[in-house]
Structure 1
Amino acid sequence: MLASRPGRLPTMVGRGGLLDELRRSLDAVHCETGPVVALVTGEAGIGKTRLLRELAGELPADVPALVGQAREGDTDRAFGLVRDLAEDHAALLEPVPEPLERWRHPIGHLLDPLVRLADHPDDGHTHSQEELARAGVALVCHLTGSRPAVVVLEDLHWADSASLEVLTRLARSREPLLVVATFRPEDFERRHALARALPELERQSTVRHIPVEPLIAAELHEFLEHAYRRPVDAGVVERLRRRTRGNPFFVEELLDAGAGGAHARAGARLADPEALATAELPWSTSEAALRRLDGIDAAAWRLLEAAAVLAGRVDLATIAAALDTDEAALAQSAAGLVRAGVLEEAADARLGFRHALVADAVAGQVLHTVRRSLHARAHDALRERGDVAHATLAHHAAGAERTDEAAAHAHEAARGALHAGAPREALAAAELALASRRDTELSELAARAAAQIGDFALAAAHAEQWAAQADETGDLEAATLARCHLAWFRWWDDDTSTALAVLGDAVATAETLPDSPAKAHAFATRARFEQTRRHPAAAVETGDRAATIAERIGDRRTLAKAWLHKAGGLLDSPEHQTEHDLAHAADLLNRARDESERHGDVDTLAGSLHNRLVPEQPDDVSTERSAEILADARDVADRYGLERLDHKLDLLATYLAVAAGDLGAAETALVAARRVPLAPHEASWRASLDAYLAAEQSDLDRAARAHAEQLDLGGGPLPAESEVDAGFVLATLGTLRGDADAGEQGLRRVGEHVDDVCPCVASMWWDTALAAVDAGVDPGLVDSLVEREAPPVLPRHAGLVAHARGAVHAAWGRRPESVTALRTAVAAERRGRRATLLADAHHRLSEQLVRGGEIAGESSSERLEEAREHAAAAVRWLEHWPGARRDRCEAGRQRLHVAGRGGGRSGRGDGGGSRGDGGRGRHAALTPRELEVVDLVARGYTNSGIADRLFITRKTASTHVSNLLTKTGLSGRTQLGVWAVREGIAESSGETE
């Protein structure tokens, strides 16, 4: 039900355009792949609810609508807005429908007391906030029936963080929903959960902003003429507009005041409009609201005072206790106020104000002593009842100025909220308690809660108090734990020097302690820092020490942390790349994953899953196994609300799709990864993937934009990993443009930073070398850079290294050496090599095998057959990778298929090339792309035709032709074509455009 008074007019005035926008939003649901979110904003009384009621009134019969409303102060239990959504449908959920059976127990928690499951265990068990949020989304989707539907969420500025989490998750679902949400922009602050939810909505879904503005003079004029059914003087309208600021609520209150107040509204005659301009008028919001209450009796007024002070929804028994009166005596007054539209009664019989302006106005009239007394009696009654949340008791104890009791209740509320996965509520409760008492556990709760919502500066402030309090009591173990957390919070808040100093203090203290959880935790934290700072050997050593202590004292939770960071060090360390080391790292990650899940340590659980998905999979994880691990990680991220992990998984999903050779899946995952802000090094990786996918589709503009995005990250020096990413992208752009200078600059950039990154990133040196060769960089220069700057060759990179060396040999014209290297590349284990690289290795090898010149001990027919096999393998690797690369490989396969039947250039024999330069013809220095271009020139293609065939720009094609003429020393396209046919590079087939 949309709760608003009917209004003076049967139709809206001045809101037709807004209603049209909502209609268009509903129509858009049929065109989108997920929900459309309409954010209706405006001040109190501006007409947001009336607008939504108009929309609801015209919905087709087959479009269901769910309506929920948040209410001021209704935060004693999370997911209040979700319960309100389900309130009118509770009967449909007992028993729980079969499609919701897997969410049976979480839904029992969500909807209590609306729905009571007969078999739900009353053992005090809890579910994580994430599990409850997912159940909430499933519930909404079930109630809407997975068909076009409207979900209305009113007054988000009062919504609890758990309900807002359901909203953001609903927005990124694929359900055909129009989600209409209202809120007052002026009624929430930066730390409110809504401040975080709004940008999330913007990133995750199609969002339409519908601001509801005050009525302008013309609209107010129309309003009054509709109300009076006769012309109204423009001067009266203008004076009334200035007094009401165009707020429809104020205007209607003035009209009601002229008719004798709210209780006289039905059938009352309005005062003349001219009289409104000179009559006594309510000049403020409070005055306008209070005029609605003229004529109510003293008993009803006392009830309103109590309801306003106690805030939110309050049951009649609590109001009666606060007023120290009989509940039955209040029932008649409550019924009258509900009929008058001042109060409303929810399905659970609790009462609340229909409009917040009225509640605020009434509360403002209550004397301080009366307010304190009402809270005190409500607190005592609720505590005696025994089934009320500590957050509610803390609210009333604070209102009663019972400081100690408020702090005690808030302490329990904070502990329970953090355990239940509601960090914002936990933080609010902890800070309420900390306002009147200093307590180590409270500071710890506040620090952990602030960190969970991503406010690391606030988390650090509370951790400092936590450490100081531990120091005062002489509790060295608590002080060590506090400083370990403080160091990590400072690190995430970009205060590196402080973080390292604090960690040093924590470790120094830990060294003086006997073996204990705090000591093990300190060394595990240090291992984490060492891994993050790219000191892998130190991470292995310190992680090993933490694991030894934790295992000795039976601290399995910290043991899992130690395993995680030791494994990270093993994966990152060039000194630990043996098969034994890599298998050991994989085993540690698997054990850390299992142990952390048993202990509910989501941070370690997330890290172990993430590290199993890094591009350099330690045990050569198959594509199918990677997909399973990714699904497992996503489930953990969803279950525990780990948004940061979820965002990183989008990047890893993009990489895994690239590795598997699925271009469509890679683009889909990259779209998801673009929706969220990332740390600079992660954003750089995203840009690198974006540029690579663009290059594979010959989209030069997109690739250039991705490179510009990389260079603009953070406004300062890039991390070493980002420098390597940027170098790779620059060389890739060089390949796309035929720009040897860009290829060289990219390779040099990677070389400058390759020693400062982990092995999985360092392997990009060889990727970049390949791109540089294809961009036309002089092979001698590439050779010299390889000798001076290439990273150590690890066993798992053998295939990639052989691939790059084979390309350089080919560019030099060293055909036998190129064939040998490329054969090594295709025979090597796949580790770390994406499908496109494998296809490229097979394609290059097939071309080298049939190029002119003999290879000792091999016949031309044997090489032709082998070339055909590799050409076919290249195409197979690119089955799901459409674009220029697959077209090139397919063209090569077809040429080899024709060859041997008489007519293909590959059938010219082993001695087809004239070698007047000692075995290295002029074509030897040409790149694979240039060989493709010269082949098309020989066939008579213009630059435009070459561009179309190779999926490059016309300018790039022109650059390639110019470079070819320079390298060969020829004077024109005709000479170039004749030379190419004579050298066996191309066949003159007579083909033209």
Structure 2
Amino acid sequence: MLRGRNGLSPVMIGRHPSLDRLLGLVEAAEVRSGDGPEIALVSGEAGIGKTRLLREFIAALPADVTVLTAQARPGSMGRPFDVVGQLGPAGDNSAATARAVLEAAVAAGRTLLVVEDLHWADADSVHFIEQVCMQAWPQLVIVGTYRGNDLSRKAPGGELVLRLERQHNVEQIRLDRLDRAEVAGLLAAIGNAPPSSGAVEAVYRRSGGIPFVVEELVRCCGPDACIDDLKTAQLPWSLDEAVRQQLGGLPPDERRVIDALAVFGDPAPFEILLDVCGLTDDRLLVALRSLATQSIVVEPEDDTFWFGHALVADAVQQQLLGRERRRLHERSFAALRAQVEPDHAALVRHASGAGQFELIPAIAREGARRYLDRGASFQALRLASEALAEAPNDPELLAVATDAAWRLEFGREALAYAQQWNANAVTDLERVESLRFIARLHHELLDADQRDFTVALLEALADTLPQGLARGRCIGAVAQLHMLARRSAAAVDWADRALADARRNGDQWLEAQASVERSSALEHLVPRDESERALLHARELARQVGDSVLECRALNNFLAIVTPHGEMGAWARSELSEAAARCGLDKLGAGMLALWEAEAAMASGDMRAMRQFVAEAGQHWSARSSEYCHQRSHLADLRIEEGLVADALAAEQEVELGGVVSEELRPSEYRVHLVAAALEGRRADAERVFSAIIALPLVPDKTHSLW
């Protein structure tokens, strides 16, 4: 069932076109023979009526439609499977259970899956939803809601919405504020009588046309007031004032609950509220029952309580005195710290609110690493960066911040963290790892001089370190960096040294890492089938040591040498998507994966899909990056296929100005110029470019040259 209170109005105003569009999706699911679910995204600011629209939508559905609902909450990003876990029975939030529930519903017939507030969704739930969107379930309709102004770049829900919005088959429904006529209609429905123009104007000016605020203003006049009383009433000028008037007469116990819930900032279990409010069981129960009767508080699930609308929580908290807020943050912190599985992001928020800043670094060291290890890179970066404000030179926090920023494609931010990490490194291993990131990030930001300078530092360090873990990892880092710089022979030599160290010291992770570097470098030295086997073996070693980042790198490099639209290409893209979701590696699981999908689409002649994926890839990188140049190269190919010669040449010029026309991109660059000359009838230019292609050195069989 949908959470949140029911509105004052017995009928919905101003949303019937949107309702009709949603109902049309369900009707289409009955007769559709397409491959996937129908998908709709409903967006709008807080209080605009997204939940009311969904309530009316569900109420209007035929009886044969199964409805499943879930809702993200303010703290969901810090809790794995917090959203999709709501699809299964209480206490079981596993993806397997959620999928079984969904599969059973779809097998029985038409099914509606509603996910509210995607902007707060956790990474694991987002991956689950994205996988469901790709299933061959034409009888499924998926509706998600979000607030556009609360979407964050690289937040799991934000990335999901951006990817879905770029798909041509996704229905996008944006709810706007009500106009004067619609506000008049809403007041008439609430009061069961036409309002005067004065009442409409007074409410419209104060509410701005936001339905929730309209209802709160009416609520301030009391349940027995008629609508025209609004014209002469002392209406509040803001939602904050409306909430203040509404809550002003509450008994002390109810006010304590409201204040505690607002500062806690998330749906709160009964036991937590007991600790934060300081009430007895019976007094808390009486207060909650009264608040629920007034629709101020709702019970979204058994023994868990939250406001009927999140806007009320914001308004209540702003009205508290600083000392009141600090005390409630202290109690919230103590209550959460006693939990078996503490929410580290919430702990840091309450420690900050309580003024206990000295506790934040220790909480973040544990929590940020946990978030990163389970693939919640965005939450890891937020937590680490917040703690670094208190402990700016903490190497553990800097390590997590560097890694998380790199996974999320914040290249320059990651480089700044890596340099600070290196300056404050305590152990040899920290020095090695920070230098590896510095060199890799310089490479990705197209600064070859600084990359090679840092590689030289690592080579010198490898010669001075004693036998052991740090020395082996240093040698493996050098192998990786030579591989990235396309110095294949050097990469293989350093990888062989790392493998010897790994076997001597029993370092299975280093064996997997060195195998990835070695097999990736082999693509320039051995036949393609041998390179494929080596990369698949390296990928298996990465799986055995449980390192999804290594696994992603092996799969990404494997995709560079296989036919993109063949069975192995499709398999590798699917595996890359799964592995990247496990470790929150947007860099490969979103950006590069879009490029591989674009290549597969072009190779199979699907221009519509290629347009979609080229556009998606273009959202991920800045102009000064090697990946951006790859994306522009694909764009040039697309424009040539579309016959837009000038646009193709402009995109190719961006590649050339980027200064990273690698061996495998150079044939594509020449191909664009060759076809452009042919299309424009420039025979001499075409012959000149063709001669240049013939004169190019042989390159390995790779994705770019296989079709």
Query: What RMSD in Å do the two structures reach over aligned CA positions?
Result: 3.8
- 1:544 Cα deviation after fit: 3.1
User: Does residue 264 of structure 2 align to residue 322 of structure 1?
Assistant: no
Structure whose alpha-carbon radius of gyration is higher: 1
* Cα 1:242–1:396 shift into 2, 3 Å: closer
- 1:492 Cα deviation after fit: 2.6
Q: Deviations over 1:258-295 (max 9, x none)?
A: 2x2xxxx3xx2x3351x423321111111122333343
2:117 aligned to 127, 132, 155, which one?
155
Correspondence for 2:477 = 525
Report the secondary structure of 1:514's partner residue. Answer: coil
Question: What amino acid is the match of 2:401?
Answer: A
Correspondence for 1:370 = 324
Report the secondary structure of 1:759's partner residue. Answer: coil
- 1:136 Cα deviation after fit: 5.2
How many pairs were matched up? 693
User: Does residue 662 of structure 2 align to residue 722 of structure 1?
Assistant: no
- 1:612 Cα deviation after fit: 4.3
Report the secondary structure of 1:292's partner residue. Answer: helix
Q: Deviations over 1:386-438 (max 9, x none)?
A: 45444444443333222333332222212222222222222223233333234
- 1:514 Cα deviation after fit: 2.1
2:127 aligned to 143, 165, 172, which one?
165
User: Does residue 87 of structure 2 align to residue 114 of structure 1?
Assistant: no
Q: Deviations over 1:887-921 (max 9, x none)?
A: xxxxxxxxxxxxxxxxxxxxxxxxxxxxxxxxxxx
- 1:627 Cα deviation after fit: 7.1
Cα distance between partner residues in 2 of 1:762 and 1:40: 39
* Cα 1:249–1:36 shift into 2, 3 Å: same
* Cα 1:741–1:498 shift into 2, 3 Å: same
Correspondence for 2:395 = 440
Which aligned pairs between 1:657-668 and structure 2 lie closer than 5 A?
Answer: none
User: Does residue 463 of structure 2 align to residue 511 of structure 1?
Assistant: yes
- 1:366 Cα deviation after fit: 2.1
Q: Deviations over 1:706-765 (max 9, x none)?
A: 67654555864561433321322444567788874454143144357x34x84336996x
- 1:614 Cα deviation after fit: 4.2
Cα distance between partner residues in 2 of 1:193 and 1:628: 24
Question: What amino acid is the match of 2:132?
Answer: L
Cα distance between partner residues in 2 of 1:729 and 1:374: 64
- 1:182 Cα deviation after fit: 2.2
Report the secondary structure of 1:459's partner residue. Answer: helix
Cα distance between partner residues in 2 of 1:195 and 1:625: 30
8 Å Cα contact 1:256-1:292 kept in structure 2: yes
- 1:376 Cα deviation after fit: 2.3
Which aligned pairs between 1:7-22 and structure 2 lie closer than 5 A?
Answer: 7-22=7-22
8 Å Cα contact 1:724-1:749 kept in structure 2: no
Cα distance between partner residues in 2 of 1:385 and 1:646: 34
1:54 aligned to 49, 56, 62, which one?
56
Cα distance between partner residues in 2 of 1:525 and 1:734: 44
User: Does residue 422 of structure 2 align to residue 461 of structure 1?
Assistant: no
Cα distance between partner residues in 2 of 1:634 and 1:251: 45
- 1:331 Cα deviation after fit: 0.7
8 Å Cα contact 1:615-1:655 kept in structure 2: no
Correspondence for 2:617 = 677
Question: What amino acid is the match of 2:468?
Answer: S
Correspondence for 1:288 = 242
Cα distance between partner residues in 1 of 2:438 and 2:310: 41
Cα distance between partner residues in 2 of 1:556 and 1:272: 74
8 Å Cα contact 2:408-2:587 kept in structure 1: no
Which aligned pairs between 1:221-232 and structure 2 lie closer than 5 A?
Answer: 221-232=184-195
Cα distance between partner residues in 2 of 1:485 and 1:207: 38
* Cα 1:649–1:570 shift into 2, 3 Å: same
8 Å Cα contact 1:447-1:463 kept in structure 2: yes
Correspondence for 1:750 = 693
- 1:551 Cα deviation after fit: 3.4
- 1:304 Cα deviation after fit: 1.0
Q: Deviations over 1:557-598 (max 9, x none)?
A: 22333233333333314xxx5x7xx78755643442232221
Q: Deviations over 1:911-953 (max 9, x none)?
A: xxxxxxxxxxxxxxxxxxxxxxxxxxxxxxxxxxxxxxxxxxx
User: Does residue 170 of structure 2 align to residue 207 of structure 1?
Assistant: yes
- 1:235 Cα deviation after fit: 4.3
TM-score, normalised with respect to structure 2 = 0.86
Cα distance between partner residues in 2 of 1:529 and 1:301: 60
1:70 aligned to 69, 72, 89, which one?
72
- 1:306 Cα deviation after fit: 0.9
2:548 aligned to 602, 612, 615, which one?
602
User: Does residue 515 of structure 2 align to residue 556 of structure 1?
Assistant: no
Report the secondary structure of 1:151's partner residue. Answer: strand
Report the secondary structure of 1:460's partner residue. Answer: helix
Correspondence for 1:535 = 487
Cα distance between partner residues in 2 of 1:226 and 1:584: 73
Correspondence for 1:424 = 378
8 Å Cα contact 1:172-1:205 kept in structure 2: no
Correspondence for 1:34 = 36
Cα distance between partner residues in 2 of 1:669 and 1:641: 25
Cα distance between partner residues in 2 of 1:627 and 1:155: 32
* Cα 1:704–1:149 shift into 2, 3 Å: farther
Cα distance between partner residues in 1 of 2:206 and 2:703: 69
8 Å Cα contact 2:36-2:136 kept in structure 1: yes
Cα distance between partner residues in 2 of 1:425 and 1:707: 41
Which aligned pairs between 1:93-492 and structure 2 lie closer than 5 A?
Answer: 114-115=91-92, 140-145=102-107, 147-176=109-138, 177-190=140-153, 192-204=155-167, 206-258=169-221, 260=222, 265=223, 268=224, 270-271=225-226, 273=228, 275-384=229-338, 386-437=340-391, 438-470=393-425, 473=426, 475-492=427-444
Cα distance between partner residues in 1 of 2:481 and 2:560: 18
Which aligned pairs between 1:775-924 and structure 2 lie closer than 5 A?
Answer: none
Cα distance between partner residues in 1 of 2:209 and 2:569: 60
* Cα 1:374–1:632 shift into 2, 3 Å: closer
Question: What amino acid is the match of 1:175?
Answer: W
What is the identity percentage for the equivalent residue pairs of Structure 1 and Structure 2?
31
* Cα 1:644–1:483 shift into 2, 3 Å: closer
Cα distance between partner residues in 1 of 2:567 and 2:106: 35
Moved more, 287-296 or 712-721: 712-721
* Cα 1:511–1:583 shift into 2, 3 Å: farther
8 Å Cα contact 2:76-2:83 kept in structure 1: no
* Cα 1:42–1:420 shift into 2, 3 Å: same
Report the secondary structure of 2:319's partner residue. Answer: coil
Moved more, 666-675 or 458-467: 666-675
* Cα 1:45–1:483 shift into 2, 3 Å: same
Structure with more contact order per residue of length (Cα contacts < 8 Å, sep ≥ 6): 2
8 Å Cα contact 1:439-1:469 kept in structure 2: yes
* Cα 1:608–1:673 shift into 2, 3 Å: same
TM-score, normalised with respect to structure 1 = 0.63
- 1:622 Cα deviation after fit: 14
Question: What amino acid is the match of 2:404?
Answer: A
Q: Deviations over 1:453-510 (max 9, x none)?
A: 222222222222221211xx4x333212211112213333444443333333333333
Question: What amino acid is the match of 2:616?
Answer: V
Cα distance between partner residues in 2 of 1:589 and 1:690: 30
